[in-house]
Amino acid sequence: NAGVMQNPRHLVRRRGQEARLRCSPMKGHSHVYWYRQLPEEGLKFMVYLQKENIIDESGMPKERFSAEFPKEGPSILRIQQVVRGDSAAYFCASSPRTGVQHFGDGTRLSIL
Amino acid sequence: GESVGLHLPTLSVQEGDNSIINCAYSNSASDYFIWYKQESGKGPQFIIDIRSNMDKRQGQRVTVLLNKTVKHLSLQIAATQPGDSAVYFCAETGETSYDKVIFGPGTSLSVIP
């Protein structure tokens, strides 16, 4: 009964490279959420997706960031041309149609 | 704008004492509240929730109190243990078409052995 799986756990990129973060929701969950957390801060909502649809991306920066949740496979959060300010922990959560969100253990992104 | 915030950013308690973590919310339309616990290096874990038609809910060693009049939420941990050391987040959401959760800034709880 696996929980939300995120990989990689740690990702190091140089400025200007692309970062791809993956999230496999819990079995039976069709709703995925991405959050960003800076050290000593709370979680900031980025985007909410259902299969093949972006429902709410109001927390996502307009440039360089994109997210998808394809019919098959994990949800992907993609950051293009990364900058130092993108360094953070990125958490994914999933839920069934309604209900409590269950979180993965995050991907810690470091930008050199 | 709507927000959920915490009164105390840090809290230190003696092992065995009770802990109380407070939270204020500003959106009176919110009707579902959740407490999460986040240990170092891990994602938030669900602790307990409460709906707005209740003012108290108890779990194992934890109790959540909701005061809708003053828009205040609290988490009480009985007989605090070292394993309770973590950051605690309150979160609010509504019974809308989806469960967008808004998190407060968090309170760091340290248990002194």
- Sequence-ordered list of residues with C-beta below 8 angstroms from that of B96, at least 6 positions apart, any chain: none
Residue B110, beta-bridge partner list: B12
CA gap B46, B76 in Å, rounded: 15
Which of A41, A55, A93 is opposite residue B98, by nearest beta carbon? A55
- Do B106 and A55 make contact, defined as CB atoms within 8 angstroms? no
- Distance (Å) from the alpha carbon of A43 to chain B's nearest alpha carbon: 6
A68 touches chain B (CB under 8 A): no
A38 touches chain B (CB under 8 A): no
Query: How many interface pairs between A and B have CB atoms less than 8 angstroms apart?
Result: 50
Query: What six digits make up the tokens of B15?
Result: 């092992």
A100 contacts in B (CB within 8 Å)?
34, 46, 49, 99
- Do A45 and B42 make contact, defined as CB atoms within 8 angstroms? no
pLDDT the model gives residue B8: 45
- Do B106 and A31 make contact, defined as CB atoms within 8 angstroms? no
- Distance (Å) from the alpha carbon of B57 to chain A's nearest alpha carbon: 16
CA gap A50, A56 in Å, rounded: 10
- B6-37 pLDDT, tens per residue? 444 889 999 999 999 999 987 888 889 999 99
CA gap B59, B44 in Å, rounded: 18
Distance of CA A9 to the CA centre of its chain: 12
pLDDT the model gives residue B30: 85
Better pLDDT: A94 or B104: A94
**Residue A103: CA count within 13 A, CB half-sphere:** 24
- Distance (Å) from the alpha carbon of A73 to chain B's nearest alpha carbon: 22
- Sequence-ordered list of residues with C-beta below 8 angstroms from that of A9, at least 6 positions apart, any chain: A105, A106, A107, A108
A99 contacts in B (CB within 8 Å)?
99
- A4-35 pLDDT, tens per residue? 999 999 999 999 999 999 999 999 898 999 99
CA gap A67, B20 in Å, rounded: 38
- Do A33 and B106 make contact, defined as CB atoms within 8 angstroms? no
CA gap B84, B79 in Å, rounded: 10
- Do B106 and A91 make contact, defined as CB atoms within 8 angstroms? no
Nearest Cα to Cα of residue B81 among B106, B57, B59, B61: B61
Nearest Cα to Cα of residue A99 among B41, B46, B79, B27: B46
CA gap A84, B15 in Å, rounded: 40
Which of B43, B45, B98 is opposite residue A48, by nearest beta carbon? B98
pLDDT > 90 in chain A, percent: 79
- B30-89 pLDDT, tens per residue? 889 999 999 998 999 999 999 999 999 999 999 999 999 999 999 999 999 999 999 999
Mutate which of B98, B102, B107 to disrupt the A interface (most A C-beta within 10 Å)?
Answer: B98
